Amino acid sequence: MHLSNRDGALDLLKWLALLSMLLDHLRYVGFSVDWLYVPGRLAFPWFCLAMAANLDRAGARKTDWRYLGWLLLFSLVSEIPYRLYIPDPDTLNVMPTLALGLLVARGWQDRTLASRVLGAGALLLSALFSERLMFGFFGVLLPLTTLWVIRRPWYFAVLPGLVCLAANQWRVLFESARFGNELAIFGLIICLIAPLLGMLLSRHAQTAKPPPMRRWAYALYPGHFLLLLLIRQIAA
């Protein structure tokens, strides 16, 4: 989301979330790098935290709907590259989840009838089509739960941590962790602490000055699928 007064910590959070997503998707290039699943669990909660931070700032109402428009546009643009790269996907790409999450969070935040109706509609859609959404129903709730705690003491981050875990196939992770699977164990831990790590970073990295992440960054999502697809074809 574009900011008129750049927040260096927030830009850093977005870049690190993008790096985490890239590492996660490297697992599908063809190399034996399953351990990248663990740092990959940081990407979605950190993107949700960036969304919550933008909603929380002054003047957010002026750009919310433009932000939603970009999310919807790149939901469509990203679907073909996503399906070309990810083998046999059973969900849509992540953008629809973020778009619905934005509507739900905005519906709670804004008391106008239009926002409340759209938020309720987004919540209903996410419940009905949870299996088709990446990170499911709880993924749609994560921006809202992060917005609830973004100004509270650090220990309130346990709430979005639990929601993040629920969004990440927690039953599969728990079952694998019971049998000593280290990836599942570390995956559980990262899901639980990812919102806390992001909140600490956003509060204590104010002097950071990474390159500003502006609207062009939306194109990095479909673009990175195409780049990784090319790498997979070359490495095959």
Q: Residue type for 14, please?
A: K
Residue 198 counted as domain residue: yes
Q: Say what the pLDDT of residue 16 is.
A: 97
Write out pLDDT tens, residues 24-34. 999 999 888 99
Average pLDDT rounded to a whole number, residues 69-86: 96
Tally of structural domains, the chain: 1
3 within some domain: no
> What mean pLDDT value characterizes the chain?
92
Q: Is 1 within a domain?
A: no
Q: Which residues contact 103 (CB under 8 A, 6 or more apart)?
A: 68, 118, 119, 121, 122
Quote the CA–CA distance of 124 and 182 in Å, as a whole number: 36
pLDDT of residue 235: 85
- Asked if residue 2 belongs to a domain, the reply is no
pLDDT at residue 222 above 50? yes
pLDDT tens string 126-162: 999 999 999 999 999 999 999 999 999 999 999 999 9
Tell me the average pLDDT across 42-65: 84
> Given a cut of 60, is residue 1 above it in pLDDT?
no
pTM for the complete prediction?
A: 0.93
What pLDDT, on the 0 to 100 scale, is given for residue 58?
59
> What was the pLDDT predicted at 5?
64
Query: Domain containing 147: what range?
Result: 8-235
Query: How high is the pLDDT of residue 4?
Result: 47
Q: Is the model's pLDDT at 65 over the cut of 90? A: no
In a domain, residue 153? The reply is yes
Asked if residue 181 is part of any domain, the answer here is: yes
Please check the confidence at residue 168 and state whether its pLDDT lies above 90. Answer: yes
- Ramachandran region of residue 86, left (φ > 0), alpha (ψ -120 to 50) or beta? beta
Element (H, E) at 116: helix 113-128
Q: Quick one: average pLDDT of 169-179?
A: 91
pLDDT at 188: 96
Q: What is the pLDDT of residues 101-121, one digit of tens each?
A: 999 999 999 889 999 999 999
Residue 57, pLDDT above cutoff 90: no
Write down the pLDDT at residue 61: 59
Residue 88 included in any domain = yes
Across the range 183-207, mean pLDDT stands at 95
Nearest to 7 by CA among 217, 206, 143: 206
pLDDT at 2 over 70: no
pLDDT at 62: 54
DSSP 187: H
